[in-house]
Amino acid sequence: MNDDTIITGPLYASRKKVYPQATHGTFRTIKWAVLVLTLAVYYLTPFLRWDRGPNLPNQAVLIDMPHRRFYFFFIQIWPQEVYYFTGLLIIAAMTLFLMNAVAGRVWCGYLCWQTVWTDLFYAVERWVEGDRRERMLKDKKGFTIRHAYELGLKHFLWLMIAWWTGGAFVLYFADAPTLVKQLLTFQAPGIAYTWIGILTFTTYMFAGHMREQTCIYMCPWPRIQASMTDEWALNVSYESTRGEPRMSVKKADAARTRGLPAGDCIDCQQCVAVCPTGVDIRHGSQLGCIQCGLCIDACDNVMKEIGRPPRLIAYDTDINIQRRTQGLPPIYRPIRPRTLIYPVIIALVGGLMVWKLATRSDLGIDVLHDRNPMSMPMADGGVRNGYTVRLLNKQPNDRPIKLSVSGAPGLKLKIMDDPNPTEATVGPDQTLELRVMVIAPPDQVPDKAVDVTFTAEDPNGKTSVVTKDHFFPNG
């Protein structure tokens, strides 16, 4: 910074309360549809049933922490398969990047949970206290009995929504109907009440009080998005070449009659009034704009009333904004490298996950070689190696499993402390850990360490899995 640079104004601005006004139009309808759909999915999904057979839960979506399982309809994920969640995170990130490449912060404007719940809280607020003007007047007048009643009712409804939001979250971790009954009779585990309390408080604070502050100051995505977007991405934009200079309808008509320039913007401030973050889109792209499109609806309604063409505010690109200042027609490039790369990554990762799910076995085996000693000589001149074998049975019933080893001539496998040296029974949906010895007879001890293959299979041979380890001739 140069010595002669002068900074004026405060470095911190206190919050100015935002009073978003209700509007109607294409984008408001889309937001209502998304809100209803996403909240219905969130609140109702725990109550969906899915028959998986005996000994397995019948809740369609369940995070079973005691048994370390995740159930999603016909899919069951074990702790060993955490890579599926890694794949989902990659897909989610690429989808977010793709949405940004196509239409900026459209995720923030329509699908972000902060936006959805804040929208719901705003709807309750308008229903109880009235629209923008009524709320501003009531806050300006201060305390009255009626206003106190309305405030009390509003906060009560907010708390009920927040409470059910927290309650719905814990239902994903236990059988929903059973847990609801336990919660109502105060017989649920303490951890359930704790998490409901935490999520009730955070939902109430974020959606009811912090609102646009969360989007502007707490969320990192606006900063990330600003560094990732390009000039071809669609963003909510004000067409200044058409809107300026601003003036009233009468003055604009008079100016056009005299052949003077007159913009379509009548400076009615409706675009600012409906914005949930209080942004004036006419000042250009800003950190607070969540690309929800409500200002487009508000401006279109005004343009319709004054008989001017719609979309003075619209989703547009930086390229087209520049081209209009040069008198050039708009152009669009929805298909470009980044809008192709992201779908390709999503398809590859998704395809790999689907292939892995389709080909995975309901039987698993892991082997760990003893470290000290690596091998033990036997009295007859043979050599044995010790291993810990862990068998995984993903079926909901008892399952006999036969073990064998191969890789060198004469190798024999024996399960320790078991009457059947090569076969064990694994319980339903369980793992079983076994101590196993692999023995090389005296005349067939290998000269050096060799790779050996452990095989676990059903006695009928329909399902088998293998894993490799080493056999050492001496310790």
pLDDT tens string for the chain (475 positions)? 455 555 565 656 677 889 999 999 999 999 999 999 999 999 999 999 999 877 788 999 999 988 888 999 988 888 878 889 999 999 999 999 999 999 988 999 999 999 999 999 999 999 999 999 999 998 888 888 998 999 999 999 999 999 999 999 999 999 999 999 999 999 999 999 999 999 999 999 999 999 999 988 888 888 888 778 888 999 999 999 999 899 999 998 899 889 888 889 999 999 999 999 999 999 988 888 999 999 999 999 999 999 999 999 999 999 999 898 888 898 999 999 999 999 999 999 999 999 998 888 888 899 999 988 888 888 888 899 999 999 998 888 888 999 999 988 889 999 988 778 888 899 888 889 999 999 999 888 888 889 999 999 987 767 888 999 999 987 5
Structure tokens at 362: 């309901």
Cα–Cα distance for residue pair 374/201, rounded to 1 Å:
56
Phi, psi dihedrals of residue 211, rounded to the nearest 5°: 45, -115
Q: What is the 3-state secondary structure (H, E, C) of the chain?
A: CCCCCCCCCCCCCCCCCCCCCCCCCHHHHHHHHHHHHHHHHHHHHHHCECCCCCCCCCECEEEECCCCEEEECCEEECHHHCHHHHHHHHHHHHHHHHHHHHHCCHHHHHCCHHHHHHHHHHHHHHHHHCCHHHHHHHHHHCCCHHHHHHHHHHHHHHHHHHHHHHHHHHHHHCCHHHHHHHHHCCCCCHHHHHHHHHHHHHHHHHHHHHCHHHHHHHCCHHHHHHHHCCCCCCEEEECHHHHCCCCCHHHHHHHHHCCCCCCCCCCCCHHHHCCCCCCCHHHCCCCCCCCCCHHHHHHHHHHHHHCCCCCCEEEECHHHHHHHHCCCCCCCCCCCHHHHHHHHHHHHHHHHHHHHHHHCCCEEEEEEECCCCCCEECCCCCEEEEEEEEEEECCCCCEEEEEEEECCCCCEEEECCCCCCCEEEECCCEEEEEEEEEEECHHHCCCCCEEEEEEEECCCCCCEEEEEEEECCCC
State the residue for tokens 């609102």: 211
> What pLDDT score does 1 carry?
44
> What pLDDT score does 7 carry?
53
> What pLDDT score does 286 carry?
86
Cα–Cα distance for residue pair 296/238, rounded to 1 Å:
9
State the residue for tokens 């074998």: 389
